[in-house]
Structure 1
């Protein structure tokens, strides 16, 4: 059994929502740009692969999903447990056991988060009743969302 994270180190529900909304905007606008770049070519026949309009739309969709998964998994696994939204909200996802997030754990956490969001965000509501503010994806992936400690420089008066 692991030692619980002190309450003062846990991310607040408000900060978690802030990170979620910021990441949703990043994904939305990133997908929009991808659609404009790749989807704009969907009406043209690709001379290299001979892809017609319908197949190009499917390719754009698959590329979009792969990039979204990579965004969440790789950033959480290799950039200190933070996506752009988490960085903006000054929170990070960490493993309960104290080790760095494994890409497989980050992928499992993402998959559960997607299912949880699809079912009226029910898995997220657990954070309201959990002493460590953990959601369903946190429980399954053995993670917790903590505040990022901000160190401000102190200036000595001359």
Structure 2
């Protein structure tokens, strides 16, 4: 770890939880809106799509999954490693070398995070015992979660 990524710059477990919960709400409400728009709630059919309920549910599920993956990949690669939750918590995900993430790294991290959630969040518990506060997905994807650098401009512009 470079000097610029010292222990003082690592995100706290509390900030990571804050970002996770915020992103969970973003994904949940986004999924809810998608289901309402496509008629996937309660077996409703959308007249735009002339398919049976089972097929519509499958379409909604697949579209929802693609949008969730796109949210995390685009936000992590195009937004300096920050999802909306990370922005709210003032943290970001970076590669161990400190550079921005590529889509492949984000996908690996996302898949491992999902598996960690399925196994009662065991992969997340590693952050409590790791000196660099890394979860399983951080270890596998070679990433760190760091505090966002806040630079205030003290000079007035003319």
With normalisation by structure 2, the TM-score equals 0.89
- How far apart in 2 are the matches of 1:22 and 1:59? 26
| Aligned residue-pair number | 153
Larger mean Cα displacement after TM superposition, 104-113 or 38-47: 38-47
Alignment equivalent of 1:43, drawn from 29, 32, 45: 45
- How far apart in 1 are the matches of 2:46 and 2:72? 32
Shift of 1:25: 0.4
User: Is the aligned partner of 1:120 residue 2:97?
Assistant: no
RMSD (Å), alpha carbons:
1.9
- Report if the CA contact (8 A) 1:45-1:53 is conserved: no
- How far apart in 2 are the matches of 1:76 and 1:135? 17
- Report if the CA contact (8 A) 2:40-2:60 is conserved: no
- How far apart in 2 are the matches of 1:44 and 1:124? 39
1:24-54 deviation per Cα after TM superposition (whole angstroms, max 9, x unaligned): 000010001001101259424546xx42222
1:87-132 deviation per Cα after TM superposition (whole angstroms, max 9, x unaligned): 0000000000232201010000000000001101000011011110
Residue of structure 2 equivalent to 1:73: 73
SS in 2 for 1:124: helix
Residue of structure 2 equivalent to 1:99: 99
Residue of structure 1 equivalent to 2:54: 54
Larger mean Cα displacement after TM superposition, 137-146 or 34-43: 34-43
Query: Structure 1: where are the runs of 5+ without partners?
Result: none
Instruction: Summarize the Cα distance change of 1:139–1:153 in structure 2 as closer, same or farther, 3 Å threshold.
Output: same
- How far apart in 1 are the matches of 2:77 and 2:130? 24
Residue of structure 2 equivalent to 1:144: 144
| TM superposition outliers: structure 1 runs of 4+ over 6 Å | none
